[in-house]
């Protein structure tokens, strides 16, 4: 392995729980990211992959020792493969109380049309 | 032939985390004693506890809650956090498909025993970015004191 490959190794992260719902006009992804403020959230689209990454901000007082921990990694990461009919240029994101809501609309031409079935 | 279809996208760490979760589910804690109030991993909300010389700090990872509706009580040395998280999922109908519903919804309640030297009257709770932080002060007499040498 070269140094470059080592550096590219992503830091360990937890997989956030999500809800994914699709309707006629688009897809809504809701993700639980407790502890992540707006400025530590990163949403990236590369090709057809959407990556959600968030870093927790610790407000631990000085000299605190952990005595019990269920959350051991201060980071969340999850990636989704999108499909072509989704319009990645119009994604709407909001983050409130540690819950991220992403709305990805479908491109106009991809919205459903009723297709008549002809009997021949 | 279809191997590439069977591999789940995501890193090795995510895969290991899933494996660890499954293993714990099957083998439990391998016979080691656990706290009487311990719950299976993945319970809502996840809790971290820290200790400082002056206080015990409890962090509950509880995103998307209305802070007014979270109940925090300290009774006989047991801290209880309870409340309810509404579901955000729409009603199922013909026009919508739900592909993932992993987020917790419903009533929750978690309890943990506090160290003996805490002062149940001096509890502070705050909610920020989906983390509920409860700080329980330790009793004055149990705090470390510097002893002067004459």
**Contact with chain A for residue B129, Cβ under 8 A:** yes
Phi, psi of B55 (to 5 degrees): -155, 165
Between vectors from CA A102 to CA B42 and to CA A58, what angle results, nearest 5°? Answer: 50
**Contact with chain A for residue B76, Cβ under 8 A:** no
In a domain, residue B105? The reply is yes
Instruction: Find tokens 């491109």 and name the residue.
Output: A107
Query: Which range of residues forms the domain containing residue B76?
Result: 34-90+101-142
Binary contact (A68, B95; C-beta < 8 A): no
Of A36, A37, A65, Cβ closest to residue B50: A65
Size of interface A-B (CB pairs under 8 A): 126
Single pTM value for the model: 0.77
Tally of domains within chain B: 1
pLDDT exceeding 70 applies to what percent of chain A? Answer: 90
**Contact with chain B for residue A8, Cβ under 8 A:** no
| pLDDT at site A33 | 96
In a domain, residue B5? The reply is no
Binary contact (B95, A23; C-beta < 8 A): yes
In a domain, residue B137? The reply is yes
Q: What is the ipTM of this complex?
A: 0.80
In a domain, residue B83? The reply is yes
In a domain, residue B9? The reply is no
| pLDDT at site B29 | 53
**First-residue to last-residue Cα distance in chain A:** 63
In a domain, residue B67? The reply is yes
Higher pLDDT, A117 or B5: A117
Binary contact (A14, B17; C-beta < 8 A): yes
B50 to chain A: which residues are within 8 Å by CB? 60, 64-67
Domain range list for chain A? 18-58+69-109
In angstroms, the CA A112 to CA A26 distance is: 11
CATH of the domain at B112: 2.60.40.790
Q: Which two tokens stand for residue A14?
A: 């937890």
Q: In this model, does residue A114 exceed pLDDT 80?
A: no
pLDDT tier, A107 (very low <50, low <70, confident <90, very high otherwise): confident
Each of the 150 residues of chain B gets a pLDDT tens digit; together they read: 455 555 555 566 667 777 776 666 555 555 566 667 766 666 899 999 999 989 999 999 999 999 998 999 999 889 999 999 987 777 767 788 888 888 999 999 999 999 888 998 999 999 999 999 999 999 887 777 788 888
Q: Which two tokens stand for residue B117?
A: 């030297």
Which CATH code of 3.90.1150.10, 2.30.38.10, 2.60.40.790, 2.70.70.10 fits the domain covering A18-58+69-109? 2.60.40.790
Q: Are B61 and A71 in contact (CB under 8 A)?
A: yes
**Contact with chain A for residue B106, Cβ under 8 A:** no
Average pLDDT score over residue span A83-94? 89
| pLDDT at site A1 | 46
């Amino acid at each position: 392995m070269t140094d470059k490959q080592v550096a590219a190794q992503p830091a360990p992260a937890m997989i956030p729980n999500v809800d994914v719902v699709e309707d006629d006009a688009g897809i809504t992804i809701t993700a639980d990211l407790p502890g992540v403020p707006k400025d530590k959230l990163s949403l990236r689209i590369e090709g057809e992959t959407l990556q959600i990454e968030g870093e927790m901000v610790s407000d631990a007082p000085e000299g605190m020792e952990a005595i019990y921990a269920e959350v051991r990694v201060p980071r969340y990461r999850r990636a989704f493969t999108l499909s072509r009919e989704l319009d990645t240029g119009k994604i709407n994101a909001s983050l409130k109380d540690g819950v991220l809501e992403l709305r990805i609309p479908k491109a106009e031409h991809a919205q459903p049309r009723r297709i008549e079935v002809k009997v021949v | 032939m279809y191997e590439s279809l069977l591999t789940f996208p995501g890193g090795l760490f995510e895969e290991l985390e899933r494996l660890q979760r499954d293993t714990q589910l099957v083998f439990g804690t391998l016979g080691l004693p656990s706290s009487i109030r311990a719950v299976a991993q993945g319970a809502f909300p996840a809790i971290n506890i820290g200790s400082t010389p002056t206080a015990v700090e409890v962090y509950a990872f509880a995103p998307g809650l209305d802070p007014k509706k979270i109940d925090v009580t300290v009774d006989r040395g047991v801290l209880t956090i309870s409340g309810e998280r509404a579901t955000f999922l729409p009603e199922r109908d013909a026009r919508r498909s739900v592909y993932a519903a992993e987020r917790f919804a419903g009533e929750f309640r978690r309890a943990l025993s506090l160290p003996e030297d805490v002062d149940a009257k001096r509890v502070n709770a705050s909610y920020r970015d989906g983390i509920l932080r409860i700080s329980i002060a330790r009793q004055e007499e149990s705090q470390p004191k510097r002893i002067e040498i004459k």
